Structures are given as C-alpha cells and as structure tokens.
Amino acid sequence: MADSMLWGKYDATQMELDLKDRYGVEVDLQEYQLASLTQRLHDILPPATFAFLQTLCEPVFSRLRPDLVNVDPMVRQLETALARSLETCSRGVDMEPDKLFEPLAGSLVAMMRDVVSNPAKVVECARLKAAEEALAGEREAARKAKLAAKEAKRALAASKKAARLQRQEGAQSEIAACGGGDDESG
C-alpha cells in the first residue's frame, strides 16, 4: 500500500483504492478507523518498520472480500489489533519489528482462523517475508552507504590533488615572476 499512497492525506477512500490496486479487494471502509490508524502508525514508525507492519498484515488485507470473510468483524478486529500496536509504538518502545509486532501476529492468526486451514503458517510466512524484506532493505542501505563513502573518499582525494596542483602552479608563477631564478646571474 505504501507505494501508491500520498501520506499527507490518507483517508478511507485512499485506503480503499490502495487495497483494490494491490490486492484486487473492493471494500467500503468509510465507517472504520482503519485508514486513520494506518496513517498514525506511518507517522510514528521508521519506514522499514512500517513496511514490516504492512507486509505482516497482507494475509488479512488480501482477504477482505465478502466472498471470503465477514468483512465487518474482520476489519473491527484488525482495527483493535492495530490500535494496540499503535499504543505500544507510541510509548517509544525500541524493539526489532519482529518482536514489536508479535502480539499483532497473534491477533492476525486468530482473525484468519475461519478463513484458511493453517492460519499460523499463513501469518508466519508473511512474517518471514517481512523479515526478508527488512534484511534486504538493510543490505541495500549498507551498500548505498558504502558507495557513498567511496565516493566521498574519491572526492576528498580529488580535492587534495587539485589543491596540491594549485599550490604547485602558484609556486611556479612566483618563480616566473621573480625572473626565472638563476638564469640572470651570468
């Protein structure tokens, strides 16, 4: 969902569009607080942690269809679980996302109990996918940091070389201005 949303104004209509785009789910969220909770979580969580949260919730988001679930209770349960997560996150708890959202994962398993044959496995797969995405994000950030450090080192070396050349040119100009040195003594 984060790919397509504008976080300045994220409301139920925008969330409905995001769910439709991402999962093909058409659900009316106007009477729910789901978008508001999602917005508040986005505002307080680091981007990688929010991405973890979204991936973890995919099994529920992708099944919010009347042909699969009773949508109203499912959305209400998801709101309750996200509100608890918001409370925890608002306290500034500094944990790995996997541990931070462990209670949410348990709630997701309970929500999926009547929807899939092995809800624990479905949620565990989403958790593992979220962890893999987070690890890939960390690796990419480390790679970019390493490239930036190399570029900064190259720029510093180029700057030092330019300063050295400028000093040499200045010294040569001074020698030339003085008459070229020892050539006049003869």
Least confident of 58-62, 89-93, 114-118, 143-147: 89-93
Q: Which two tokens stand for residue 58?
A: 């995919």
Using the predicted structure, report yes or no on whether residue 114 has a pLDDT greater than 90: no
Non-local (6+) Cβ contacts of 51 within 8 A are: 2, 130, 133, 134, 137
Distance between CA 73 and CA 86 in Å, rounded?
20
DSSP element (H, E) containing 112: helix 102-112
Residue 3 has pLDDT above 80, yes or no: no
Could you tell me the pTM of the whole model?
0.69
- How distant is the alpha carbon of residue 181 from its chain centre? 65
